[in-house]
Structure 1
Amino acid sequence: MTDARISRRNVLLGVGGAAICTAAGAGAGYAIADTDNDAGAPAATAQAGPAKFRSRPDLRALPDVTITTPANATAPGLIFLTPASGAGLWGPLMIDDKGSPVWFRKVPDPATVAIDFKAQHYQNKPVLTWWEGTIGGTGGQGVGQGEFVIADTSYREITRVRAAGSEQADQHDFVITPNGTALFWVYDPIPYDLSAVGGPADGVLHDGVIQEINIRTGQRVFEWRARDHVGLDESYAPLPEGDSAHLPYDYFHANSVGLDADGHLLVSARHTWATYKINRKTGAVIWRIGGKKSDLVVDEKSAFSWQHDFRRRRDGSYSVFDNGAGITKQHEQSRGLIFKVDEAARKVSFVREFLHPAKLSAPTQGNFRELADGGSFIGWGQRPYFTEYAPDGTVRLDGHLPLDNQSYRAYKAEWAGAPLDQPALGLHVDGGNVVVSASWNGSTKVARWRARAGGQPRALTQTAEADRTGFETTLTLPGTPEYVVAEALDSSGKVLGTSSAIPVRV
């Protein structure tokens, strides 16, 4: 954990996640004036490649999102993604039901990615959280070394949460508890005798470690280690062999941690095909579901493998994203799975499954969450799709990132953002008129845009208005005035923010 004032990255957050590109003193927001006239080069920026948004040319590599099933009576909220591809523009991305960006922040170079972007509550206030770091540095597939970011509704960084001791936090989950602590995983490589399972006596084991950290103080308040409670013989993962024999054996591969209704912990371990309920005080395993040593009898339709994201639902049932594929392929399709647990009878009973219309199989990643209205939302992990389901299981929204992308998880949640920087403004002259391009990264209340123009920055009498049309809205001003500003308006016409006055250079 660190104070936001001295974070090496918080300065980027305050200006929408990229360096400032200004013209005529644009201040803390973007202001781009160009005079291409459909033929010339931009006057105020000289970046390679076509701009996706004239007001934010830094977002030229932002991936397009395709909505294949348009929203139909969906739950309120925005969609949270962390696109990752070879394009190198990685970061938390928030979009609306039409696939239009609402907020994006590029993670800082070098060699960092963002994962598990979502809305939570900290100190009874809504916040955004995500993980930043590097993946795979210790030889384990899908193992992260990094830290978690917490940002407020203005997108200012509040703090960073780091693992206690010398370890670094893994990316797989981050849960803020009601008492101001954070739960997450650490993958700890330790010397270990693997001869009992056919490995070298001087081998290395990746131990799955839950840490619970007091967010305010950074102090560790609870720790749990998988090797103390789950045997290596429960794993379905093969040992590293040959030249890799002394790389860490990732026998457990924890990928989610959360709270049950009684306050005990819920855990998913991909490589044992099992989910666990863990006593939060003693660390004892209360029960395990699935895998080689299930404590409860699991009916055939509830059996899962290589799974992610084990959670309790409001009606007392449990859910998991059943990949059904990983190192091996056990099922033709991945699915969202809901089952009931009868602790007294020691059995698990199938309730419902949620499949994708295209019969997707996701070998890695993914999540399955309940929505506030009783619907469900699935992020398909390695397959770059996300799907919203009605309570009856019908698809009411479906979309995807470009097919060469992926997003570890996808969420839907309500969010109200009010950035502190200025709206962004881009200008270009077309056919003797000025085309104004306006955007405001992260603002969720903009309903309309107004452009004002005139001969002096404080004498802007010419106006044009238009309804907001996605991330960037264009307006046309006749003629070629000297200066232009853009004003963001809410649904009642109140001005939420104003860009700097930008000169029109012809």
Structure 2
Amino acid sequence: MPPVEQIKAKRAGIGLRACDRGRAFPGFTLFAPQSGGGKVYLIDLDGNAVHTWQMPYAPGNSGYLTERGTYFYNGKTVENSARYISRQPWKGGAALEADWSGRILWEVRHPDHHHDGIRLRNGNVLLICLAQLPDYLVSQVKGGLPGTEHDGKMYADYLVEMTTDGQVVWDWRTWEHLDPVIDRIAAVQDQREAWTHANGLAELTNGDIVVSFRNISTVIIIDRRTGEIIWKLGAPPLSGQHAPTPLPNGNLLLFDNGPHRLDHSMTFSRVIEVELASKRIVWKYQERREYEFYSPRISNAQRLPNGNTLICEGDFGRLFEVTVDGELVWEFVNPYFGQGPTGQNNRVFRAYRYSAEEIGRAKATAVAL
């Protein structure tokens, strides 16, 4: 008999696990395995890879198709650097845009970039970056395990807007706008190396910026003109959330990871839709037995044109689609495992579904650009 497979996810089943063609949104799903060395996959509803890109960097950490059909990618550069961020698994370093064939149209680099970057409507690039927190603020930051700073230092996030030729035109620093006492590290057991730990960006239609901070379990909206925080949601209800996604109805979709809930004794994940004006949760997806759906890190959700929601349970490479009533209509587990810091894994930072029309536009970029 062959030896028993030692990776639990492989024993449980990989690839396509369910597909209700009558109710799943027809299209193609895009994802880049975190340990895949920069290989990006586009699969059909049957789980077949219909196209791949080979990026010059490993994911650092996500990518998506732009409105004009190009592929925007955050890459992880390899540097021998004394910078704190160079030793972190969520490091980035580069953002680029590629056409359908994988040809790089432009690339910018920033040594402090991590987690996420997006292409703004004005054509510029917005990056999450990390910097050392001013010394006088370290003792003021509340929460976390005392003495777990990095050599007595703490780090916090700032945003940088760059042109595609690398010129910095705007920046925004968390420590100039957040309160170290009020915006405390949410989990008592968390390390105090990083105060805020930003992990997601989005641009609203009016140009304002949405930012998610994992360590303080907080999402904010920044007025793009003044730099002021004009909206904030923290813990509870949030817990280590990722991927703030504006919806056409004006609400915000979030993957609420749940590693340290202040209002619940159990760790579990859920996807929530939040109405901005009232801050009420107006829709959510979570398992009836809550512990059966849990990704403590990474992950995202996308509202599809038919009203369904595509969910990436990132830590386990599980991509699935549910109806508005929470019924599962499609499920796929990333079969592309790679070597990570703690062994073989199939983690996926984010996944997105695109229509045939959007993929047609992406194919045209290989000729038009």
- Asked if Structure 1 and Structure 2 have the same fold, meaning a TM-score greater than 0.5 normalized by the shorter chain, the answer is yes
Q: Which residue of 2 aligns with 1:28?
A: none
Candidates 91, 104, 129, aligned match of 2:39: 91
Alignment map for 1:280-295 (pairs within 5 Å): 280-291=224-235
1:258 aligns with 2:238: no
Could you report, residue by residue, the CA deviation over 1:20-46 in whole angstroms, capped at 9, with x for unpaired residues?
xxxxxxxxxxxxxxxxxxxxxxxxxxx
Contact 2:53 2:102 in 1 (8 A): no
1:174 aligns with 2:113: no
- Which runs of 5 or more residues in structure 1 are unaligned? 1-63, 242-247, 292-297, 422-506
Contact 1:360 1:383 in 2 (8 A): no
Alignment map for 1:128-143 (pairs within 5 Å): 128-134=71-77, 138=84, 141-143=88-90
Q: Which residue of 2 aligns with 1:374?
A: 307
Q: Which residue of 2 aligns with 1:355?
A: 286
1:76 aligns with 2:20: no
Could you report, residue by residue, the CA deviation over 1:130-170 in whole angstroms, capped at 9, with x for unpaired residues?
1221599726754313201211233321111323xxx3421
Contact 1:317 1:338 in 2 (8 A): yes
Could you report, residue by residue, the CA deviation over 1:376-432 in whole angstroms, capped at 9, with x for unpaired residues?
1111111210111234432221111148311011111131354999xxxxxxxxxxx
Distance 1:375 1:286 in 2: 30
1:184 aligns with 2:127: yes
Contact 1:91 1:114 in 2 (8 A): no
- Which runs of 5 or more residues in structure 2 are unaligned? 1-12, 338-344
Q: Which residue of 2 aligns with 1:337?
A: 272
Contact 2:100 2:365 in 1 (8 A): no
Candidates 257, 269, 272, aligned match of 2:216: 272
Candidates 105, 118, 143, aligned match of 2:53: 105
Contact 1:237 1:251 in 2 (8 A): no
What amino acid does structure 1 have at the position aligned with 2:70? V
Distance 2:241 2:155 in 1: 19
Q: Which residue of 1 aligns with 2:243?
A: 309
Alpha-carbon spacing, 1:103–1:263, altered in 2? closer, same or farther (3 Å): same
What amino acid does structure 2 have at the position aligned with 1:213? M
**SS state at 1:117 partner:** strand
Contact 1:361 1:383 in 2 (8 A): no
Greater alpha carbon shift after TM alignment, 328-337 vs 268-277: 328-337
What amino acid does structure 2 have at the position aligned with 1:222? W
- Number of aligned residue pairs: 326
Q: How many angstroms does 1:191 deviate by?
A: 5.2
Q: Which residue of 1 aligns with 2:63?
A: 117
Contact 2:299 2:313 in 1 (8 A): yes
What amino acid does structure 1 have at the position aligned with 2:313? W
Could you report, residue by residue, the CA deviation over 1:226-282 in whole angstroms, capped at 9, with x for unpaired residues?
1111133322256988xxxxxx82110111111224321111111111110111122
Alignment map for 1:48-59 (pairs within 5 Å): none
Q: TM-score, normalised by structure 1?
A: 0.58
Distance 1:388 1:239 in 2: 33
Q: How many angstroms does 1:202 deviate by?
A: 7.7
**SS state at 2:96 partner:** strand
Which of these two proteins has the greater Rg computed from alpha carbons?
1
Q: Which residue of 2 aligns with 1:226?
A: 174
Distance 2:108 2:220 in 1: 25
Contact 1:135 1:142 in 2 (8 A): no
Distance 2:150 2:40 in 1: 42
What amino acid does structure 1 have at the position aligned with 2:274? F
1:411 aligns with 2:352: yes
Q: Which residue of 1 aligns with 2:160?
A: 211
Q: Which residue of 2 aligns with 1:498?
A: none
What amino acid does structure 2 have at the position aligned with 1:307? Q
**SS state at 2:349 partner:** coil
Q: How many angstroms does 1:71 deviate by?
A: 4.2
Q: How many angstroms does 1:105 deviate by?
A: 3.5
**SS state at 1:382 partner:** helix
Question: What is the root-mean-square deviation of aligned Cα atoms in Å?
Answer: 3.2
Q: Which residue of 2 aligns with 1:398?
A: 331
Q: Which residue of 1 aligns with 2:341?
A: none
Identity of aligned residues (%): 24
Alpha-carbon spacing, 1:387–1:282, altered in 2? closer, same or farther (3 Å): same
Alpha-carbon spacing, 1:78–1:330, altered in 2? closer, same or farther (3 Å): farther
Q: How many angstroms does 1:323 deviate by?
A: 0.4
What amino acid does structure 2 have at the position aligned with 1:132? G
Contact 1:367 1:379 in 2 (8 A): yes
Alpha-carbon spacing, 1:129–1:65, altered in 2? closer, same or farther (3 Å): farther
Distance 2:150 2:132 in 1: 15
Could you report, residue by residue, the CA deviation over 1:46-87 in whole angstroms, capped at 9, with x for unpaired residues?
xxxxxxxxxxxxxxxxxx9511111423223211111134xx
Q: Which residue of 1 aligns with 2:15?
A: 66
Q: Which residue of 1 aligns with 2:257?
A: 323
Distance 1:271 1:96 in 2: 35
**SS state at 1:104 partner:** strand
Q: How many angstroms does 1:332 deviate by?
A: 3.9
